Structure 1
Amino acid sequence: MSWLGQKARQYGATSARLFFYCAIPSACFIHTVFDYAGEITPSYGPSMLPTLNMAGDTLMIERLPGWRSRLRVGDLVAFTTPYDPGRRAVKRLLAEAGDTVCVDPRSKHPAFVQVPKGHVWLQGDNYSNSTDSRVYGPIPLGLLHGRVTWCVWPSPRRIPNGAEIIPGRFSDS
């Protein structure tokens, strides 16, 4: 007989009491970890090629206190898509509130959008095959679930910030 079974018999615990004393605290612990520390979630699809595999990666999402204040341009984030609340996606943060973004730089007449307060601009790394802020517009911070920090399967690796500084001078002309 297991140690737990011996203790249950010793103290006269019923299976309902065992459930209450063992399963419920475990569920509360798991809930707390997933809500306040982070989670592990799968990611599929071509929109983040070559950073993430199209066939799927299992990602670690950070949600420790203050994670939103640690977000930087270039980070990968998990979020709920605005048009389908049951669907989550992973994209790269390209602009924060107050930044101006060119929606489609390949267009003959490019349009520019200023990201409003409380929003971010997210885009997939595979520009030609991604549904992102170019379709949704700026994403409210409330739809973000966390920052992607690691790929844990199939090839474990840290997901670095993908920001690249391009030297040069930019103007409105």
Structure 2
Amino acid sequence: MYIPRFILRCSGVLGYLVQYGCIAHCALEYGADFVVCSGPSMEPTIHTNDIVLTEHVSVLRNHVQKGDIVIAHSPTNPRQYICKRVVAMEGDRVFMPKNDTHSLVPKGHVWLEGDNTSNSTDSRTYGAIPYGLLRSRVFYRVWPVYDMGNLKHPAER
């Protein structure tokens, strides 16, 4: 049976595209990816339209620590992502401003807050979130170029 050379070449190219697509998907899903942040909740650390580099390994291996900035699924809208700082881990006590009490972060949960506390919807509103909603840890700002570098808490600047 004769198969035209054009079809053979196209199938070879298609095979490579599928392979590279799978590699890119795995790298972005389990390695690292870029995130464009929006909203004022993390100002002055991260501003709207800043592009940050995130890694997934810390979340997958349960190595997220207090002070880390993370990307998580919103507990109120699972299709939306939020960018917040980890303020407390399971077993830590946190102050609940709503009812002026202290609360214990449950096992398997983290307490997230934005750096801009006056303009952030975070765990002070919806409580501790399950660790399973965490997607990645932010570790480097890529854009804007003049502010490129590792991210530090405003108190450390």
Measured in 1, the distance between the counterparts of 2:117 and 2:61 equals 25
Deviations 1:130-162 (A, max 9, x none): 0100111101000000110001111311113x3
The answer for unaligned runs of 5 or more in structure 1 is 1-8, 165-173
- In the alignment, is the contact (CA less than 8 A) between 2:59 and 2:134 conserved in 1? no
Aligned residues: 150
For the structure 1 residues 156 and 86, does the alpha-carbon distance in structure 2 shift closer, same or farther, using more than 3 Å as the test?
same
- In the alignment, is the contact (CA less than 8 A) between 2:59 and 2:137 conserved in 1? no
Q: Which residue matches 2:49?
A: 56
For the structure 1 residues 102 and 157, does the alpha-carbon distance in structure 2 shift closer, same or farther, using more than 3 Å as the test?
same
Runs of 4+ residues deviating >4 angstroms: 65-68
Identity %: 36
Match of 2:65 among 53, 60, 72: 72
Q: TM-score, normalised by structure 1?
A: 0.79
Deviations 1:106-131 (A, max 9, x none): x7x62211100000000000001001
User: Based on CA coordinates, which of the two structures has the bigger radius of gyration?
Assistant: 1
Measured in 2, the distance between the counterparts of 1:17 and 1:86 equals 36
- For the aligned residue pairs, the C-alpha RMSD in angstroms reads 2.3
Q: TM-score, normalised by structure 2?
A: 0.86
The answer for unaligned runs of 5 or more in structure 2 is none
Match of 2:9 among 14, 30, 33: 14
